Amino acid sequence: MRPNYAIARLKREPDHGAAKRAGKDMAELEVTNWFGDVVSRPKVIVDANSVDDVIAVLKGVGKYPAPVRAVGSNHSTSPCGVADGGTLVRMKMNRILNIGADTITVEAGARHIDIADSRTAICNSTSTPRSAA
C-alpha cells in the first residue's frame, strides 16, 4: 500500500507527464512535462475528477502538503506545475460544458484538441448541406 497516495486513482486515460513509479518509494516520485525538461518531485499526486476532490486537497493540509500545484495535460514548458515535496493535482475534469456562438465553457482539465474537435463537429453539423446538382 502507498500511504501517501491521495484520492482514488480512476484511470481513464494514460498518465500525462511520464510519471515514473516502478520500483520507487513515493518520496522518489518524479513527474515530467511532455518534453521532459521540467521535473517535479511531489510527495502526493491527486487525480481530481470533481470539484469535491479539489476541495478535499485544499482543506486537507496535513494529508496534502504545500505547495499545491494543478496541471492539465502537463504541456507547460515553465515550472508552473512543479510541486517538489508538495501535492500535484492532475485535473481530470475535462468536460465541455457549453459551446456558444462566440464562447466555449469547459472544465479545468479540458484539452485544446478536444475543444477544437467539438467546435468543428458542431460547425459541420449545423452547416447547410449542398443540394445535389
pLDDT, one tens digit per residue, over 74-126 is: 777 788 889 999 999 999 998 999 988 888 899 988 888 888 888 776 666 65
Please determine, for residue 5, whether its predicted confidence score (pLDDT) is greater than 60: no
* Residue 14 resides in a domain: no
* Residue 13 resides in a domain: no
Which residue range(s) make up the domain with 65?
A: 26-91
Please determine, for residue 15, whether its predicted confidence score (pLDDT) is greater than 50: no
* Residue 46 resides in a domain: yes
Could you tell me if 70 and 117 lie in one domain?
no
Three cell numbers written together for 78: 515553465
- Per-residue b/e over 25-62, b at no fewer than 16 CB within 10 Å? eeeebebbbeeeebebebbbbbbbbeeebbebbeebee
pTM value surpassing 0.75:
no
Q: DSSP string of 17-54?
A: S--B-TT--GGG-BEE-TTS-SEE--SEEEEE-SHHHH
In this predicted structure, what is the pLDDT of residue 111?
Answer: 84
Could you tell me if 31 and 83 lie in one domain?
yes
CA distances from 121 to 55, 99, 114 (A): 34, 11, 10
Q: How far apart are CA 105 and CA 110, in angstroms?
A: 10
Total count of domains within the chain = 2
Could you tell me if 47 and 73 lie in one domain?
yes
Of 65 and 35, the one with more pLDDT: 65
Look up the CATH number of the domain holding residue 73.
Answer: 3.30.43.10
Could you tell me if 61 and 104 lie in one domain?
no
Q: CA 2, 30, 51, 66 torsion: positive or negative? A: positive
